[in-house]
């Protein structure tokens, strides 16, 4: 029984006691409405005014019954509210404990610092892709919104090491800092890089100076939302069909065409052969748009003579089915060793 139902039951019980007492006194003692109402109120509230209008034996018996029933109702209401309060606190406590256990089990997840307009969009995209993540937010109002959406979260200041540790930064795959303040994003980047040197850090920047400072602090990627938005608007004016194609592939609005990056963890399928002999298009129906070597060197529109090695990242374009099959080939074989 929830709190709202307790309130409804309490209201109707109190009304039943009040009007039951009024009717009872009018019938038993032949009081008028005002006298009956007055006697009911002083009896139920036990203010101790005595028998103001005088009571017969039957009236006194009715008064005793009315007082006992009213005490029972008051006890019920008090108990119900106490139970509702305690149950809510217990649910919140055990819910929090369950969430903390779930966070401790995470491996290779992302930590999303800040759940504003940008952070909430990032969270939706990660959820859509089935990527595990933890939201770190210090605003209690925003935390409530995070909880309502069912995301794992840590309530606290992301600039502190303790909060980042609660989010499992030592086991995390990456961190996204989308706090509105450049100074806060800088502190988050410094703390995160110190706690996990292998962490991939993507952060938001509001100014060019902040972008340089964030990269110096250890951020792998720095994104300026306003600059990206302006460039996208300009491209939408100058190259609308290109923008449509990119959105089609990257944002996956068309389920049959996607652009994906796939890391080669097992290169036995390629066996040192050039791309033209690997049959990627014939077997998987994908096109290799670019490659990035383990050294960080990138090749756009790689030549047919390009060879693929372990640790390379392939930027490929194709249908979802073919992309999944290719990813399975370059990762599944390593698991069989």
pLDDT attached to residue 337: 38
Q: Tens digits of per-residue pLDDT, 214-223?
A: 988 999 999 8
Which residues, in sequence order, are CB contacts of 135 under 8 Å at separation 6+?
112, 115, 119, 123, 146, 151, 152, 153, 154
| Domain 3-101 architecture | Orthogonal Bundle (1.10)
Q: Hey, what are 113's tokens?
A: 């610092």
Residue 304, helix vs strand vs coil: coil
Whether the CB-CB separation of 267 and 308 falls below 8 Å is answered with yes
Q: Residue-wise pLDDT tens for the chain (337 aa)?
A: 455 676 778 788 888 888 998 898 888 888 888 888 888 888 887 776 666 677 788 888 888 888 888 888 888 777 777 766 676 666 666 667 888 889 999 999 999 999 988 899 999 989 988 899 999 999 999 998 998 898 999 999 999 999 999 999 999 999 999 998 899 999 999 999 999 999 999 999 888 778 888 988 999 999 888 777 788 788 888 888 777 777 766 665 545 677 888 888 888 888 888 888 888 888 898 889 899 887 778 888 888 888 888 888 998 888 888 888 898 888 855 444 3
What pLDDT does 231 receive? Answer: 80
Q: What backbone torsions phi and psi does residue 180 show, to the nearest 5 degrees?
A: -70, -25
All residues at 6 or more sequence positions from 130 whose CB lies less than 8 Å from its CB, including other chains: none
The pLDDT value recorded for residue 303 is 87
Q: What is the pLDDT of residue 129?
A: 83
Q: What is the DSSP letter of 118?
A: H
Report the candidate in 204, 210, 174, 179 with the shortest Cα–Cα distance to residue 192. 174
What is the structure's pLDDT at 158? 92
The secondary element (H helix, E strand) that includes residue 198 is none
DSSP letter string, 272-293: T-BGGGT-HHHHH-EEEEEEE-
Close Cβ partners of 313 (under 8 Å, ≥ 6 residues apart): 261, 262, 263, 264, 291, 292
In the chain the first and final C-alpha atoms are separated, in Å, by 55
* For the chain, domain boundaries: 3-101, 107-229, 254-335
CATH number for the segment(s) 254-335: 3.30.70.1450
Which pLDDT does position 1 carry in this prediction? 47
Tell how far CA 3 is from the center of its chain.
25
Kindly write down the DSSP assignment for every residue of 238-252, as one continuous string: H-HHHHHHHHHHHS-
Token pair in block for residue 337: 């060793």
* Type and span of the H or E element at 135: strand 133-137
Encode burial over 163-174: b for 16+ CB neighbours within 10 A, e otherwise. Answer: bbebbbbeebbb
Question: What's the whole-model pTM score?
Answer: 0.59
Residue corresponding to tokens 């599944």 = 332
- List, for residues 276-298, the tens digit of each pLDDT value: 888 888 889 888 989 988 777 88
Q: Where does residue 34 fall: left (phi above 0), alpha (psi -120 to 50 degrees), or beta otherwise?
A: alpha
| Residues whose CB is less than 8 angstroms from the CB of residue 197 and which lie 6 or more positions away in sequence, other chains included | none
Domain 107-229, architecture per CATH? 3-Layer(aba) Sandwich (3.40)
């Amino acid at each position: 029984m929830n709190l709202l139902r307790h309130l409804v039951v309490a209201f109707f019980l109190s009304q039943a006691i009040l009007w039951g007492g009024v009717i009872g006194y009018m019938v038993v003692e032949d009081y008028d409405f005002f006298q009956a109402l007055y006697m009911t109120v002083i009896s139920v509230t036990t203010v101790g005014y005595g028998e103001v209008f005088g009571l017969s034996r039957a009236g006194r018996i009715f008064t005793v019954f009315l007082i006992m029933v009213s005490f029972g109702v008051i006890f019920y209401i008090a108990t119900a509210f106490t139970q509702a309060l305690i149950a809510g606190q217990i649910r919140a406590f055990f819910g929090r404990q369950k969430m903390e256990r779930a966070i401790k089990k995470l491996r290779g997840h992302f930590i999303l610092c800040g759940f504003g307009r940008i952070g909430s969009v990032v969270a939706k995209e990660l959820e859509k892709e089935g990527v595990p993540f933890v939201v770190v937010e210090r605003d209690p109002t925003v935390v409530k919104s995070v909880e309502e959406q069912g995301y794992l979260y840590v309530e606290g200041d992301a600039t502190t090491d303790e909060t980042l540790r609660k989010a499992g930064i030592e086991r995390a795959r990456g961190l996204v800092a989308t706090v509105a303040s450049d100074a806060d994003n800088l502190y988050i980047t410094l703390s995160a890089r110190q706690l996990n040197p292998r962490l991939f850090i993507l952060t938001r920047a509001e100014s060019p100076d902040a972008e340089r400072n964030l990269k110096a602090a250890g951020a792998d990627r720095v994104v300026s939302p306003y600059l990206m938005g302006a460039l996208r608007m300009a491209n939408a004016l100058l190259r609308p069909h290109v923008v449509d194609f990119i959105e089609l592939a990257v944002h996956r609005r068309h389920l049959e065409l996607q652009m994906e990056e796939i890391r080669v963890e097992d290169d036995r399928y390629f066996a040192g052969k050039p791309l033209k002999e690997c049959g990627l298009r014939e077997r998987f129906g994908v096109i290799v748009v670019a490659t990035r070597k383990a050294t960080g060197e990138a090749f756009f529109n790689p030549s047919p003579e390009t060879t693929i090695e372990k640790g390379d990242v392939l930027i490929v374009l194709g249908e979802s089915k073919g992309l999944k099959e290719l990813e399975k080939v370059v990762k599944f074989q390593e698991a069989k060793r």
